[in-house]
A and B are shown apart, each in its own frame.
Chain A
Amino acid sequence: DAGVIQSPRHEVTEMGQEVTLRCKPISGHNSLFWYRQTMMRGLELLIYFNNNVPIDDSGMPEDRFSAKMPNASFSTLKIQPSEPRDSAVYFCASSLSRMGTYEQYFGPGTRLTVT
């Protein structure tokens, strides 16, 4: 299995531009999570989906952030417009939620730099 796949691995953009991060979860997994990591705030949960349905988006910082999961094998996190304070590493994780096991597998992350 290839694991969780994220693209791009690095993104540099100017303030005000739209940014779209992509994630392909592990095949067969039914939950998908988006996290953000910064030095100041550590790893923070942004939003997660169960069976393609958003369950909790309370971690999404503001309306500039949106996430979609149109099918079981693809999700996007969009920032529009981007700001320098959005610079961080964004991780996608997936899990197969079933009784007894809830391990989340993380992708390699997308390092976003907004100038």
Chain B
Amino acid sequence: GESVGLHLPTLSVQEGDNSIINCAYSNSASDYFIWYKQESGKGPQFIIDIRSNMDKRQGQRVTVLLNKTVKHLSLQIAATQPGDSAVYFCAVSSMYSGGGADGLTFGKGTHLIIQP
């Protein structure tokens, strides 16, 4: 099965700085990767995803990097803001031939703390 590892349970950064959150996965057959943000008392909220045929994808202030060779995934948040404070989870899945995706295997999460 798949396991998703956590590199750092807590990350504290200054407001305005860039943040990098890392994640490792074990199953080389995994081909779909997602980052979620979870605020206290809420469900996970989609940030950005990437498929295995890509190694980089950018969104608004966020970039996801995928290194399939070492099975490593990272989320970069540019110019962090107080509203970025949350727990960030990477999640891994596999797409199946029917055109859907399996359920997600989540990492334990990194708590991002933004210092004023």
Across the interface, name the chain B residue whose C-beta is closest to A111.
B41
Tell me which residues across on chain A come within 8 A of B11, comparing CB atoms. none
Query: CA of A97 to CA of B91 in the docked complex: distance in angstroms?
Result: 16
**Pairwise interchain contact A42-B45, C-beta atoms closer than 8 A:** no
Tell me which residues across on chain A come within 8 A of B95, comparing CB atoms. 102
Across the interface, name the chain A residue whose C-beta is closest to B43.
A106
Across the interface, name the chain B residue whose C-beta is closest to A31.
B100
Q: How many residues from A make CB contacts under 8 Å with B?
A: 29
Tell me which residues across on chain B come within 8 A of A35, comparing CB atoms. 103-104, 106
User: Which of B44, B45, B101 makes the CB contact (< 8 A) with A95?
Assistant: B101
Determine the interface band of chain B, counting residues with CB < 8 A from chain A: 20 to 34
**Pairwise interchain contact B102-A43, C-beta atoms closer than 8 A:** no
- Asked if A14 is at the interface of the complex by the 8 Å CB criterion, the answer is no
**In the complex, chain B residues 73-116 whose Cβ is within 8 Å of any chain A Cβ:** 89, 91, 93, 95, 98-109
- Check A102/B89 contact, CB under 8 A, given A42-B106, A43-B44, A109-B43: no
Tell me which residues across on chain A come within 8 A of B64, comparing CB atoms. none
User: Which of A42, A103, A108 makes the CB contact (< 8 A) with B42?
Assistant: A108
Q: Given known contacts A35-B104, A45-B105, what 15 new A-B pairs fall within 8 Å (CB)?
A: A31-B100, A43-B106, A56-B102, A93-B43, A95-B100, A97-B99, A97-B100, A102-B93, A102-B101, A103-B49, A104-B104, A106-B44, A108-B42, A108-B43, A109-B42
Q: Name A's B-contacting residues (CB within 8 A).
A: 4, 30-31, 33, 35, 42-45, 47-48, 50, 55-56, 59, 91, 93, 95, 97-99, 102-109
A-B contact pairs, 29 of them (CB 8 A): A4-B43, A31-B101, A33-B103, A33-B104, A35-B106, A42-B107, A42-B109, A43-B44, A43-B104, A45-B103, A45-B105, A48-B102, A48-B103, A50-B100, A56-B103, A91-B44, A95-B100, A97-B99, A97-B101, A98-B99, A99-B99, A102-B101, A103-B46, A104-B34, A104-B104, A106-B44, A106-B45, A108-B42, A109-B42
